[in-house]
Amino acid sequence: MLKFADIAGVISDMDGVLWRGDEMLPGTPDLFAMLREREIPFVLATNNSAKTPAQYIDKLAGMGIHAIVESQIITSGTATVAYLQAQLGPGARVHVLGGDGLRHIIDEGGFLLVNEDADAVVVGIDTHLTYDKLKRATLLIRDGAEFIGTNPDVTFPAPEGLVPGAGSIIAAVQTATDRQPIIIGKPHRPMFKAALDLLGTSPETTVMLGDRLGTDIAGAQNAGLKSILLFTGVNTWQELPHSAVQPDLAYEDLPSLLKVWGDS
């Protein structure tokens, strides 16, 4: 049973929890205000690899959310860099099928961005996807490069609805190569471990705020965390009774959650 009084740290998703696309969701400023007032440390952890932590800080600042530093933001891109550093080491040749943010993070991580003779191919969200990009990644993987996917999210919430995510692009490459990718982001443990290390809290006293049962909530449970599902992103009230994965608590949106939390 999750008790609000026992929460010592918060890991929050961003897409579908704090915003949809460039539209801030109701309750976002109030969430940060309450966490700071109660001196509860927090980390923002997203499977979206399209932006760097600095770009997410700029996005938050544009919504009036300030005083957040890069170390409080974990993306599947930053977690992928950590994996590459551990497995391949600096200077490895990496081809990226993904956005500029992912390429920048991998470049800053000490790797050589290449279009041929790659040691690894990293696939993430690419909003300018083309057949030629899919073809190049496919040929490099078939030639022996390691196949790494930033995250398994087949969709992500945009203002107009659910749109294709990195998982959809990874699936296309997987089909074309007959290779299983190594997936880095939620629900896998590396992102949750990194977040707990930053917070300095135990899993039992840390809660994950998310909008997706299969990644946010399942990943939190696998890592021993408590979880709260919000219905402002991917999953809905109607889907919850039919899911094998169940959050500790579920609310319609942040204002509904904060009303109960604030009264506790």
Residue 188 CB contacts under 8 Å (≥ 6 apart), including other chains? 219
196 lies in the same domain as 164: no
The answer to whether residue 217 sits within a structural domain is yes
Number of domains observed in the structure of the chain: 2
259 lies in the same domain as 216: yes
| Residues with catalytic function | 13, 15
208 lies in the same domain as 190: yes
The answer to whether residue 128 sits within a structural domain is yes
The answer to whether residue 74 sits within a structural domain is no
**Which of 157, 121, 155 has the alpha carbon at shortest distance from 139?**
121
pLDDT (0 to 100) of residue 50: 84
CA 162 – CA 181 distance, rounded (Å): 23
The answer to whether residue 63 sits within a structural domain is no
Does the pTM surpass 0.75? The reply is yes
What CATH number has the domain bearing residue 197? 3.40.50.1000
CA 237 – CA 242 distance, rounded (Å): 10
Residue 131 CB contacts under 8 Å (≥ 6 apart), including other chains? none
199 lies in the same domain as 152: no
Q: What percent of the chain has pLDDT over 90?
A: 86
C-alpha angle 253-225-48 in degrees, rounded to nearest 5:
60
pLDDT (0 to 100) of residue 264: 81
- Structural domain for 113, as ranges: 80-183
Residue 250 CB contacts under 8 Å (≥ 6 apart), including other chains? 228, 229, 230, 231, 237, 240
Q: Which of 166, 183, 200 is the last residue of a domain?
A: 183
Contact 23/260 with Cβ under 8 angstroms? no
The answer to whether residue 64 sits within a structural domain is no
Greater confidence, 153 or 96?
96
162 lies in the same domain as 191: no
What kind and span of H or E run contains 57?
helix 53-62
- 156 pLDDT tier (thresholds 50, 70, 90): confident
193 lies in the same domain as 245: yes
Contact 218/225 with Cβ under 8 angstroms? no
The answer to whether residue 212 sits within a structural domain is yes
The answer to whether residue 68 sits within a structural domain is no
**Which of 160, 173, 166, 154 has the alpha carbon at shortest distance from 75?**
166
199 lies in the same domain as 241: yes
163 lies in the same domain as 209: no
**Tens digit of each residue's pLDDT (9 = 90 or more) over 32-79:** 999 999 999 999 999 988 889 999 999 999 999 998 999 999 999 999
Q: Which of 131, 150, 183 is the last residue of a domain?
A: 183
Indicate whether 240 pLDDT > 90. yes
94 lies in the same domain as 158: yes
171 lies in the same domain as 196: no
88 lies in the same domain as 163: yes
199 lies in the same domain as 154: no
CA 99 – CA 182 distance, rounded (Å): 19
